[in-house]
Amino acid sequence: MRARLTLLVAATTVLVLLAFLVPLALLVRQVAADRALSRADDVVQSIVPLAGAGDTDGLRLTVSAQPVPVTVFLPDGSVLGAPAAPTAAVRLAAARREALTVITDDGQELVVPVLGAAGVTVIRTVVTDAELTRGVTRAWATLAGLGAALVLLGLFVADRLARAIIAPITQLSAVSLRLAGAELTARADPAGPPELREVAGALNHLAARIQELLATERERVADLSHRLRTPLTALRLEAESLRDPEESARVAAAADEVARVVTAVIRQARRAGAPAATCDATAVATDRVAFWAVLAEDTGRDVRRDLPSGPVPVAVAADDLAAALDALLGNVFAHTPDGTPLAVTLAARQGGGAVLTVADRGPGFPSGGAARRGASGGDSTGLGLDIARQVAAVFEINPPGSGGAVVRLEIAGP
């Protein structure tokens, strides 16, 4: 936009200068020609009285003293001044007895007949093209320099003006990008024309409104999650009342796990705007696989785990990574028959981070976009894969019909 504004001003300036300088240049050339012709006419008019009086000696002296070449054709055929043969203009002027100005190859020829006692005397002078255009080139160069200076001045002013207009727009764009990057505290400084100040104010109002809506939504999620604590407490009390100690322990453990997930949801809802969290992917994967291994044993599933022996740091909160892995493993148990083997693989990612893979030998993914949020091939909410996708820098699933299901997550490093 800055370049376009500068180009527009430059084009306008050039057009105005052309409309002004071209007629002025033509006028300068015409004035120079008129001045040269007027000077030559003055010379000729100064000789006319002597030619009419027939004073040959005085006429010879006057002609020889002129600054321009002058030729006088006397009635007796003799020639005074600059030697020249009688031209057609000289003969025509003598015959018609009237002054003539004739354009020739050398310039313009001025011929003035003078009627005297001895006959017609013709005074002739030639104004060359050099005389007609004397000073014109210098004047044109001055006009061209003035035009170029005005164009440069116009470009400078246009650039300053464009920068003053573009700077607020650039700031608005930067603030918009920061807001798109979840930096909701970004605000625009109202500046520039009234329209841009109004846009900046609207953008600031939008950012504040988004903050309010997100804060309200986070509180609603936290409140909803907190409400689950009451039935969980009742469930835990029911578990403690069971007579079978093993059954009581199993139900209590399940209730504790649900309580852990609820606590993680509350923390996640209130963590918005906090610094990016990190965790050890090895520790999280080891804990969650161990949890699901108990259920796998009850359903006759073989669990193969390939986990690093050392820590693998990732730029994801432990609760979020645990929720993603729980969603993937939960899908395996929910959508594959009992006895279907599964594998969990975790490896360090080149350049930092980790690669987490969950695979099973079940029927695989159904066609129709299973990875899309809310899409499900079975009786579920269709949110599991989307929860896993949110923690991954790269999310991949094998295509439907390829035999089993494989989900691969590339998680960024801290």
**Is residue 372 over pLDDT 60?**
no
Averaging pLDDT over each range in 99-108, 232-241, 301-310, which range is the top one? 301-310
How would residue 381 be classed by pLDDT, with cut points 50, 70 and 90?
very low
For the segment 36-43, the average pLDDT, to the nearest whole number, is: 87
Structure confidence at residue 256 (pLDDT): 75
What does the alpha-carbon distance between residue 114 and residue 54 come to, in Å, rounded to a whole number? 10
How would residue 341 be classed by pLDDT, with cut points 50, 70 and 90?
very high
Q: What is the 3-state secondary structure (H, E, C) of 189-244?
A: CCCCCHHHHHHHHHHHHHHHHHHHHHHHHHHHHHHHHHHCHHHHHHHHHHHHCCCC
Average pLDDT over the chain, rounded to whole?
Answer: 82
Structure confidence at residue 303 (pLDDT): 92
Q: How far apart are the first and last CA of the chain?
A: 39
Structure confidence at residue 312 (pLDDT): 92
What CATH architecture applies to the domain 2-134? 2-Layer Sandwich (3.30)
For the segment 149-169, the average pLDDT, to the nearest whole number, is: 84
**Is residue 93 over pLDDT 70?**
yes
Instruction: Report which of 213, 288, 294, 217 is spatially closest to residue 250, judged by C-alpha positions.
Output: 294
321: phi then psi, degrees, rounded to nearest 5: -65, -40
Q: Which of 113-117, 238-242, 289-293 has the lowest mean pLDDT?
A: 238-242
How would residue 358 be classed by pLDDT, with cut points 50, 70 and 90?
very high
Q: Do 358 and 344 touch, CB atoms closer than 8 A?
A: yes
Q: Do 285 and 322 touch, CB atoms closer than 8 A?
A: no
What does the alpha-carbon distance between residue 159 and residue 121 come to, in Å, rounded to a whole number? 68
What CATH architecture applies to the domain 275-411? 2-Layer Sandwich (3.30)
What does the alpha-carbon distance between residue 196 and residue 98 come to, in Å, rounded to a whole number? 75
What does the alpha-carbon distance between residue 126 and residue 104 come to, in Å, rounded to a whole number? 9
pTM for the whole thing? 0.45
